[in-house]
Amino acid sequence: MVKTILVLAGGFGSRLKSVVSNVPKPLAPVCGKPFLMHLIENLVLQGAKDFVLLLYYEAEQVQAMVSKFSGYFSENGVTIKSIVETQALGTGGSIVNAIQTLKIKDSFLVVNADTWLGDGLVQLNYSPLNSLAAIKVQDCSRYGALILEDGKVKNFLEKELSGNSGLINAGLYHLSPNLFEGFVGKGSFSLEGDVFSKLVGNGMISAVEIEADFIDIGIPEDYLNFCKWMESGKEIEL
């Protein structure tokens, strides 16, 4: 049974505005459907059934999309809830807000609503608590590189120090609510920059290496590349 998936879908998507200006980033059109629907469909194929969308910017547009595709969700036994934040909370603050709102006691999965990872959900579902998916790319400079030791994240290299091929954070996580106990009430903060950065040195964050198609559509070039990849039937190189 795949755990509940929190979908981080509240960001502004400012870097994508030059090519997608009329909808929030998760709804960027790809082959006639919002990117978020492609993402959900891919996760459902891997066994996901229970989603919670964490929303802020243009939340009503995302909720309208859910209504539009309600037939697909009901046919596949998929449950989708949404939490609309009253202020921008960042990736970390959004998760804390969800934990408190839903009174989450068990571990859960987290995905980014602008990141495609073709596989790996089941591996993360059964990974140790507080794990992230790691994937190898040819150039880490856009993301920052992961330094691993015995399956643990020992360091996050800054983007300017990460120009070579290597492992990066793929934006899929298996997390425990206890990880955020020291962050309740902090408002807006970053999962990666504030939470993980404080825990990597003592081996509290594990990494699961995944082999799968990967892309972050957050910049125009990569969004357009993803559109071409989908239009080709996933035949060309992503």
Residue 230 lies in a domain: no
144 within domain boundaries: no
Residue 42 lies in a domain: yes
pTM over 0.85: yes
Query: Which of 2-11, 67-76, 139-148 bottoms out in mean pLDDT, i.e. has the lowest?
Result: 139-148
| Res. 89: pLDDT tops 80 | yes
Q: Is the pLDDT of residue 194 over 80?
A: yes
54: domain CATH number? 3.90.550.10
Give me the mean pLDDT over the 95-123 stretch.
97
Within a domain: residue 151?
Answer: no
pLDDT of 184: 87
Position 225 in a domain:
no
Give the pLDDT of residue 163.
66
Among 11-20, 43-52, 61-70, 172-181, the least confident range = 11-20
* Predicted local distance difference test score (pLDDT) of residue 159: 67
pLDDT tens sequence across 145-173:
999 999 999 988 876 566 688 999 999 99
In what helix (H) or strand (E) does residue 112 lie, and over which residues does it extend?
Answer: strand 108-112
Asked whether the beta carbons of 30 and 226 are under 8 A apart, the reply is yes
Q: Model confidence at 80, in pLDDT bands (50, 70, 90)? A: very high
Residue 17 confidence (pLDDT) above 70: yes
DSSP 192: I
Least confident of 126-130, 148-152, 200-204: 200-204
How much is the pLDDT for 144? 85
Q: Does some domain include residue 121?
A: yes
pLDDT score, position 201: 75
The per-residue b/e assignment along 83-102, b for 16 or more CB within 10 angstroms, e otherwise, is bebeeebbbbbbbbbbbeee
What percent of the chain is modeled with pLDDT above 90? 81
Structural domain includes residue 192:
yes
Give residues with Cβ within 8 angstroms of 59, minimum separation 6.
10, 82, 84
Number of domains into which the chain is organized: 1
Residue-level pLDDT at 171: 96
Residue-number span of the structural domain to which 74 is assigned: 5-133+170-213
| pLDDT for residue 162 | 61
Q: Is residue 71 part of a domain?
A: yes
Per-residue pLDDT, 141: 84
DSSP 75-116: HTT-EEEEEE-SS--HHHHHHHHHHHHHT--S-EEEEETTEE
What is the pLDDT, as a whole number, of residue 13? 81
Tokens of 234: 């996933």
Enter the DSSP assignment of 178: G
